[in-house]
A and B are shown apart, each in its own frame.
Chain A
Amino acid sequence: MNIIVFIKQVADTEARILIKSDKKSLEIENKYNMNFFDEFAVEEAIRIKEKFKDSLITVCTYGTKKAIEALRTAIAMGVDRAFLLDNTNLDNDDPLIIAKILSSFAKKEGFDLILCGRQAIDDENANVGAMVAEFLNIPHISAILKLEVIDDKKVKAESELEGGREVIEAQLPALFTTQKGLNEPRVPLITGVMKAMKAVIPAIDPCSLGIVKEDIDTKASKITVLSYEPPQSRPPVKVIDGETPEEKVKSLVKALKEEAKAL
């Protein structure tokens, strides 16, 4: 089984993020991780390989050289090999373009199964997975909670529906996006970490994947960020006074009704 996992390196949720004075760019504190939801994808790939021993797991990211760190984390967890699609001089965060690049990589490498995270926790898009599937003309199933690989032609997946669940059988090749609940991502062993440190991770120019530069450079982007701003800050909390719990609740409900108009 040939498995590709697309992962993204994202700013840690604790990282400080400042808006630069031009309001058009951000300064992000140097704290990065593999995207939270992508860990489930990496873990699931490794579990499939534990069952289908002759599988090959390839992880790939489109990003800066720094993103190699996230690829090393995946190797430490247990994937076989990793590639960086180097975005130097191509700075672009239009999901359409990212999906074009990733799908070109997948086409070139070949695959039976692709795993992505449900969404990246920096842009919170939840776009790239399904878009890659469309460009590859393969089925996708979003936000899976269970994956059972039956053989190299067929899988059964459970995914979330509005107010419920559905179980779907899909023919391979197919793409799945992973969410919390699918598995418990492993913590790399020290031997894995050593292996990851030594691993050679090739940096590939996306233009070598048979894509025309004009189709993926900044000018090709269909979306433009005009400006960034901080969220509106909230006024300080009003602590509700009262001698007894009952009094406090009465004052709270009164305030919600009359002042906040929330009831």
Chain B
Amino acid sequence: MSKDVLVFIECKEGTVRKASLELLSKGKEITEKFSSYLYAVVIGYQIKGIAEGLKSFSDKVIAVDNESLKDYRWDTYMTVLEQLIKKYTPGMVFGASTITGKDMFPRLAARLNGAIISDAVGIDLDGENVRIKKPLFGGKIISWVVCKPGSTSLISFRPNSFSIEKRSLNGELIEETVEAPRDSRLNILSIDKSGSKKVDIQEADFIICGGRGMKGPENFQILEEIADIMGGRVGASRAVVDSKWREYDDQVGKSGKTVSPKLYIGCGVSGALHHTMGMDTSKVIVAINKDPNAPIFQYADYGIVDDLFNILPFLKEELKRAKEEI
């Protein structure tokens, strides 16, 4: 099995997702060490521009451009990837552990009879070994896992696991035409992408999360404003989602989304274990809570003990100022 790395690129609104660039950055580090190739595979419709842009990040960009691939479906995308993997025989295939990645990678692994590691957060290169870091039990345990030598390894990584390094490679662009018939047993009746303008919560660098202490749905407006200033997203605790103040898409925690932004601010969130399991890999955690004994302070880097309604208006102003200074 080769030491080549193939990255499945995800796009959104005509641009490459940050999570995919992270994987290319890490992939390059690996292929440099093994003197092997880094492939970026981009599948879709009218993706020429995207493919061009990927040349600086990879040795070879493989573009499969076809109208029937306009929207992601596991049946078509997986068939394309399967054929590319068989043709280019990478030892490792990376993808992001997003809704798309979680839908397609396991099925592809089964089809290729390959090794699969999902929702990983790190890689360690020691000698010939590539050790994968994967949290278990909501982050209570970290495991280090390896794939059996000789098997195609499919690994999906949580967004925000690696930093993006700008490169100035000049990869070769390869356009492939691959037959990808649709599975006739599935028929998509409608697609609603109304939320796709927003940053994906798992990819966001900044999350301000409201808990029951926010008192009601109307008070989330100021969190929205702060998130907009920071180019981030509003999150919510389960208590908030269960009260129907926010959508389930916003839920952070064990039964919601696992996030690891650069900065997480919890407002009126108590920090129950089920919640912290979904956010404790955030780089910097701030908690605003009027109860000094709230468990969230055990996870936070910085804490403000006060009524959040007094704090938030100033926080909005100060963050705005800080942003304008940059």
B22 lies within 8 A of chain A by Cβ: no
Q: Is the CB of A249 within 8 A of B142?
A: no
Given A126-B102, A127-B109, A263-B263: A237 and B298 interface contact (C-beta under 8 Å):
yes
B221 lies within 8 A of chain A by Cβ: no
Q: How far is the CA of A235 from the CA of B151 in the complex (A)?
A: 40
Partner of A245 from the list B145, B254, B306 (CB cut-off 8 Å) is: B306
Q: Is the CB of B141 within 8 A of A140?
A: no
Q: Please name all residues of chain A whose beta carbon is closer than 8 Å to the beta carbon of B277 when the two chains form the complex.
A: 13
Q: Is the CB of A237 within 8 A of B302?
A: yes
Chain B, 166-207, contact with A by CB distance < 8 Å: what is the 0/1 string? 000000000000000001011111111111111010000000
A163 lies within 8 A of chain B by Cβ: yes
Q: How far is the CA of A223 from the CA of B192 in the complex (A)?
A: 38
- Number of B residues near A (Cβ < 8 Å) is 94
Q: Is the CB of B99 within 8 A of A224?
A: no
Q: Is the CB of A143 within 8 A of B145?
A: no
Across the two chains, which residue of chain B brings its CB closest to A239?
B303
Given A17-B141, A36-B255, A237-B302: A162 and B109 interface contact (C-beta under 8 Å):
no
A168 lies within 8 A of chain B by Cβ: yes
B228 lies within 8 A of chain A by Cβ: no
Q: Is the CB of B304 within 8 A of A252?
A: yes
B300 lies within 8 A of chain A by Cβ: yes
B16 lies within 8 A of chain A by Cβ: no
Partner of A167 from the list B142, B183, B188, B273 (CB cut-off 8 Å) is: B188
A187 to chain B, nearest CB (A): 16
Q: How far is the CA of A129 from the CA of B107 in the complex (A)?
A: 9
B83 lies within 8 A of chain A by Cβ: no
Stretch at the interface among B29-37, B50-58, B61-69, B280-288: B280-288
Stretch at the interface among A1-9, A69-77, A131-139, A199-207: A131-139
Q: How far is the CA of A13 from the CA of B284 in the complex (A)?
A: 24
Q: Please name all residues of chain B whose beta carbon is closer than 8 Å to the beta carbon of A135 when the two chains form the complex.
A: 110
Q: Is the CB of A163 within 8 A of B195?
A: yes
Partner of B302 from the list A36, A160, A252 (CB cut-off 8 Å) is: A252
- Number of A residues near B (Cβ < 8 Å) is 80
A32 to chain B, nearest CB (A): 12
B136 to chain A, nearest CB (A): 6
Q: Is the CB of A164 within 8 A of B194?
A: yes
Q: Is the CB of B110 within 8 A of A134?
A: yes
Given A14-B273, A171-B185, A249-B311: A231 and B190 interface contact (C-beta under 8 Å):
no
Q: Is the CB of A95 within 8 A of B116?
A: yes
Q: How far is the CA of A164 from the CA of B165 in the complex (A)?
A: 30
Partner of B192 from the list A166, A235, A250, A256 (CB cut-off 8 Å) is: A166
Across the two chains, which residue of chain A brings its CB closest to B197?
A163
Chain A, 43-63, contact with B by CB distance < 8 Å: what is the 0/1 string? 000000000000000000000
Q: Please name all residues of chain B whose beta carbon is closer than 8 Å to the beta carbon of A226 when the two chains form the complex.
A: 131, 144-146
Partner of A231 from the list B111, B142, B318 (CB cut-off 8 Å) is: B142
Chain B, 117-140, contact with A by CB distance < 8 Å: what is the 0/1 string? 111000000000001000111111
Q: Is the CB of A124 within 8 A of B304?
A: no
B binding-site residues for A, Cβ under 8 Å: 12, 74-75, 98-100, 102-107, 109-111, 113-119, 131, 135-148, 151, 183, 185-198, 200, 248-249, 251, 254-256, 258, 262-263, 273-274, 277, 280, 283-287, 292, 297-307, 310-311, 314-315, 318-319, 321-323, 326
What are 23 A-B pairs with beta-carbon distances under 8 A? A36-B254, A119-B102, A124-B135, A124-B258, A125-B118, A127-B118, A138-B185, A140-B107, A160-B249, A162-B98, A164-B193, A221-B148, A222-B151, A225-B145, A226-B144, A228-B142, A231-B141, A245-B307, A249-B311, A250-B314, A252-B318, A262-B262, A263-B323
